[in-house]
Structure 1
Amino acid sequence: MRNLKLIIKREYLARVKNKAFIVMTFVSPLILVGMIVLIAYLVNLNSEAQRVVAINDESGQFISEFKDSKEIKYIDLSAVELDAAKTIVKEKEYYGLLYIPQLKQNTVPDIEFFGKEAPAFGFLTQMEKIIGDKLTNRQLLSQGIDVELIEASQAKIDIGIQNFSGEKTSKMSTYVKMFFGGAAGYLLMMFIIIYGNMVMRSVIEEKTNRIVEIIISSVKPIHLMLGKILGTSFAGITQFLIWVILGGIMLTVISTIAGVDMATVHGPQQQAMEQISDNELQQLVIDIARLPMLLLLVSFLIYFIGGYFLYSAIYAAIGAAVDSETDTQQFMLPVILPLMLGIYVGFFAVIENPHGVVSTVFSMIPLTSPIVMLMRIPFGVTWWELAISISILILSIAGVVWIAAKIYRVGILMYGKKPSYKELYKWLKY
């Protein structure tokens, strides 16, 4: 046990004292925050630019329907010919020209938009709605139908959602739950990939330098492997905490200096939020407060540690089996595939049916359960499902660590031969 502590300490100090580790620890938050602020600034800058759209309405019935807004300003060029209007638009570099020909009885006009480039989808949809509503009302009036009476007769339905115990919820509660669960699962996946690779490279480096031959003479292989996994994980947690603290400070400072208000970024998300009523927004806050935050936090720590140990043992075994990082490629797909499968199952199956067969099964499989179960927890998971999933994960960790230690013990001293899956199977018998 004393040797294990020494190995953990050595691996931890070797990581945190590494120049590349130090540089990335302090530079990465700066780059990430800088990108976030830059994107926010560009989005705000783009939203402040008002588009100028010229309209050539030969029918004279639609021009009054187009009202100026913060995003779009309309110019009436109906008094000139189409070719002349095109020339004016090109010379003054307007966003485009909307051409509406004369209307014919019981036919839809061939409306055209002329521009230097294809218009934005949202802009085109807005134009089509304005013209379509006007034509619909025109046809209804021509048939003697009172349009105002129809609009007054339309019933607006707002279906309330609540469970059988009487607790109300908002329509966006599913997305709120998916956000918290998805963020936890995605964060875990990224941590496993980044720091699992770090464990693997550390093993390959010591094996290549022949340092391991000296170390292995006084340390058990399983202690060496566990020491690398624990030492690297502690270094990773240290780096992650620094990222969170520095990222929060820098995001506040840089956004203040640059004059970018992150809360006022314009975009589809903000437009969707503006359409939410005060009651719905209040209900949304209540839904967030009802989330099992304590359970999600505890489960995140359990699956975070369990998932990392499971995959780090596999990464360590791969590092011991090969002579260079290039040789690891044949073994990486079986490692990455379950992680990607867990993410896809989480975002496509869990959000659709969190308690369905697919979601439940993949939340029990140890290679995918750390991600899928974290995505299921905000939707409500029974205690026995959680207990079974964690128990299977713990048993799987013990089994994988035992197998990895077998491969590690033999592979750490093997040189000059590219191992195959058949060769690895033989090593398990030694």
Structure 2
Amino acid sequence: MMSLSLIIKREFNAKVRNKSFIVMTFLSPLLFVAMGVIIGYLASLNNSDLVKVAIHDKGSLLKADLKNDDHRKFIDLSAMPLDAAKKTASEEEYEGIIYVPQVDSLSKLSTDVEFISNESPSLELVEDIESVINDKVTKSNLKTLGFDYDKIEKAKADAKVHLSKFSGEETVKEAAYIKMAVGGLAGYFIMMFVIIYGNLVMRSVIEEKTNRIIEIIVSSVKPFRLMMGKIIGTSLAGILQFAIWALLGTVLIVVLSTLLDVQMGGAAGAVQAAPAASDNVATVLLVELLKLPLLTIVLSFVVYFIGGFFLYSSFYAAIGAAVDSETDSQQFLLPIILPLMLAVYVGFFTVINDPHGTVATVFSMIPLTSPIVMLMRIPFGVPLWQLVLSISLLFATFFGVVWFAAKIYRIGILMYGKKPTYKEIFKWLKY
């Protein structure tokens, strides 16, 4: 065991004393914040552009209903022949031209209006035009049937359902967005951690094998202990990095809570009442964030990171031992990355829509996908038995996989000059 602890210490120190590790540990959160700010800024720039749209409506059926605003201006070219209007719209680089034919019945507008442009228009613009047409045709149809459209509009109700849990705790619709964001980020971070740190394990094995250092090391250390030392040491470096990020995140939440005057402590009533009493979106979102089982999420992240990393790093270590260079490893990496990609797709397209559905539940139990899928489910609430079962299956699978990986590792680290195939690697499992 002394040799194992020395290997763990060596791998851990090699990772955390690396300048890139130190820089990225503190720079990564800033990069994420900067990326969010840049995306928001670019989105605001996109919304600030004035879009010019021509309209050719000789019958004046729609042009009065198409209103200008800060981002869109409609230019009437109805006085021109249609071909001339098209040419003008193209030369002036308008978004396009709306052609409204002269019809004998307004109901035909729902099928006869045409948008002509050089390139595909934005979906938002098309939907807005369709909305104007729908309102116009609906009013006409109701009038034909003898109904007063204005009275119908006044009679419409604006229902708002109050959300609460069986425990009596009130919540708001925005809570779903917070849960989606937290779950999505947790799952994404797990995937990135597994890929990044798994590659570090593989590179370390390939480097030692290429430099023939491995021959000296295995003369005094069993290959299994060497592999486990690399996996555990690297995982501890990852946990340290995550712990620093969690600490920085906690400080940020405390600062935001202080600035927005949100109570984090035992004033549950104040926290529950805040969404109803406040119109400040940031405050509402922060309150809902504080309602999440943050401790459970953080602890689950650590557990699933350890389990998921141990599981996948066993594959990475085995691949590193089997090949002589990173180039040779590419053919073996795809089967490892595919389950991670599948888990992300299931998370974003299934878990977020139905976190307690059959697909989400099943994939949160499968060890190769559970570190990502289960983390995405936890903010929505997961029964304790499912969490325990998922973790148990994950670590049980790890012990099985590491046994097979150790067989490949034991033989592969001393193999040189031969590119292994899947068939060759399966033979090693029999030794």
Report the TM-score range of the alignment, normalised by the length of the smaller protein: 0.7 to 0.9
Q: Which amino acid aligns with 1:407?
A: I
Find the residue that maps to 1:365 and give its secondary structure: coil
Match of 1:350 in 2: 351
Q: 1:172 to 1:329 in 2, by over 3 A?
A: same
Q: Which has the higher contact order (CA 8 A, sep 6+)?
A: 1
Unaligned runs of 5+ in 2: 250-275
Q: State which of 128, 131, 134 in structure 2 corresponds to 1:132.
A: 134
**What's the CA shift string for 1:320-370, capped at 9, x where partnerless?**
122333333343233223222322333334334433443333322322221
Q: Does the aligned pair in 2 maintain the 1:16–1:22 contact within 8 Å? A: yes
The secondary structure found in structure 1 opposite 2:368 is: coil
Aligned to 1:55: 55
Pair 1:386-2:368 in alignment? no
CA contact (8 A) 1:181 1:375 kept: yes
Is 1:307 the equivalent of 2:308? yes
Deviates more, 1:392-401 or 1:313-322: 392-401
Select between 129-138 and 81-90 the one with higher mean Cα deviation.
Answer: 81-90
| Correspondence for 1:70 | 70
Give the corresponding residue for 1:273.
Answer: none
Q: Distance in 2 between matches of 1:277 and 1:151?
A: 29
What SS does the aligned partner of 2:52 have? strand
Greater shift, 300-309 or 169-178, is seen at 169-178
Match for residue 177 of structure 1? Answer: 179
Partner of 1:209: 211
- RMSD (Å), alpha carbons: 3.5
Distance in 1 between residues matched to 2:321 and 2:128, nearest whole Å: 60
Letter in 1 for 2:352: I
Q: Which amino acid aligns with 2:360?
A: S
Please show how residues 319-358 of structure 1 align to structure 2 within 5 Å: 319-358=320-359
Rounded Cα–Cα distance in structure 1 between residues aligned with 2:106 and 2:362: 57
Deviation at 1:426, TM superposition (A): 4.5
How far apart, CA to CA, are the structure 2 residues paired with 1:341 and 1:112? Answer: 41
Structure 1 residues 105 and 374, CA gap change in structure 2 (3 angstroms)? closer
Cα distance in structure 1, aligned partners of 2:127 and 2:139: 18
2:339 is aligned with what amino acid?
Answer: P
Q: Where does residue 121 of structure 1 map in the other structure?
A: 123
- CA distance in 1 between partners of 2:121 and 2:313 (Å): 49
Do residues 360 (structure 1) and 361 (structure 2) align?
Answer: yes
Instruction: Give 1:126 shift.
Output: 0.6
Aligned-pair distance for 1:150?
1.9
Distance 1:373 1:107 in 2: 51
Q: Could you tell me which amino acid in structure 1 is paired with residue 96 of structure 2?
A: G
In 2, the alpha carbon distance for the partners of 1:70 and 1:4 equals 67
**C-alpha displacement at 1:69, in angstroms?**
0.8
Distance 1:411 1:114, change over 3 A: closer
Amino acid at match of 1:43: A
Q: Which residue of 2 aligns with 1:267?
A: none
Match of 2:295 in 1: 294
Taking only the aligned residue pairs, the percentage that are identical comes to: 58
1:237 CA displacement: 5.2
CA contact (8 A) 2:367 2:393 kept: yes
Shift of the 210–244 alpha-carbon distance from structure 1 to 2, 3 Å rule, reads same
Q: Name the counterpart of 2:151.
A: 149
Amino acid at match of 2:230: K
Q: Taking structure 1 as reference, are residues 352 and 102 closer, same or farther at Cα in structure 2, changes over 3 Å only?
A: closer
Q: Could you tell which deviates more after superposition, 53-62 or 161-170?
A: 161-170
- Specify the code of the residue in structure 1 equivalent to 2:132: I
Q: In structure 1, how many angstroms separate the alpha carbons of the residues matched to 2:410 and 2:240?
A: 29
**CA drift at 1:211:** 1.2
Structure 2 counterpart SS, 1:348:
helix
User: 1:381 and 1:142, CA in 2 relative to 1: closer, same or farther beyond 3 A?
Assistant: closer
Q: Give the partner amino acid of 1:98.
A: I
The Cα offsets for residues 112-154 of structure 1, whole Å up to 9 and x where unpaired, read as 3333323211111111211331232133334432221222232
Q: Do the aligned residues in 1 keep the contact of 2:107 with 2:140 (CA within 8 Å)?
A: no
Of 185, 188, 213, which residue of structure 2 is paired with 1:186? 188
Following superposition, the deviation at residue 242 of structure 1 comes to: 8.0
Aligned to 1:4: 4
* Residue deviations 1:15-63 (CA, integer Å, cap 9, x gap): 4566776787788778766655554443222221111223332112432
- The residue that corresponds to 1:168 in the other structure is 170
CA distance in 1, matches of 2:98, 2:11: 66
Q: Distance in 1 between matches of 2:222 and 2:154?
A: 82
In 2 relative to 1, CA 152–217 (structure 1 residues): closer, same or farther, beyond 3 Å? same
Relative to structure 1, is the Cα distance of residues 124 and 316 closer, same or farther in structure 2, using a 3 angstrom cutoff?
same
User: 301-310 or 105-114, which moves further after superposition?
Assistant: 105-114
Is the Cα–Cα contact under 8 Å of residues 170 and 284 in structure 1 kept in the other structure? no
Going from structure 1 to structure 2, the CA distance change for 1:86 and 1:363 (only over 3 Å counts) comes to: closer
Alignment match, 2:400: 399
Aligned partner letter, 2:50 = Q
Contact 2:203 2:326 in 1 (8 A): yes
CA change 1:51–1:421 in 2 (3 A) is: closer
- Aligned equivalents of 2:381, 2:20: Cα separation in 1: 42
2:173 is paired with a residue of what secondary structure?
A: coil
Letter in 2 for 1:304: F
Structure 1 position 223 matched with structure 2 position 221: no
Q: Measure the CA separation in 2 of the matches of 1:234 and 1:166.
A: 41
> What TM-score comes out, normalization by structure 2 length?
0.80
The one-letter amino acid paired with 2:102 is Q
Aligned with 1:53: secondary structure? Answer: strand
Aligned residues: 404
Q: Which runs of 5+ in 1 are unaligned?
A: 248-275
Would you say the 8 A contact 1:181–1:378 is kept in 2? yes
Shift in alpha-carbon separation, 1:35–1:144, aligned structure 2, 3 A: same
Judge conservation of contact 1:101–1:111 (CA < 8 Å) in 2.
Answer: yes
In the alignment, which residue of structure 2 is the partner of 1:197? Answer: 199
In the other structure, the counterpart of 1:99 is 99
- Contact 1:77/1:85 (8 A) holds in 2: yes
**SS of match in other structure, 2:53:** strand
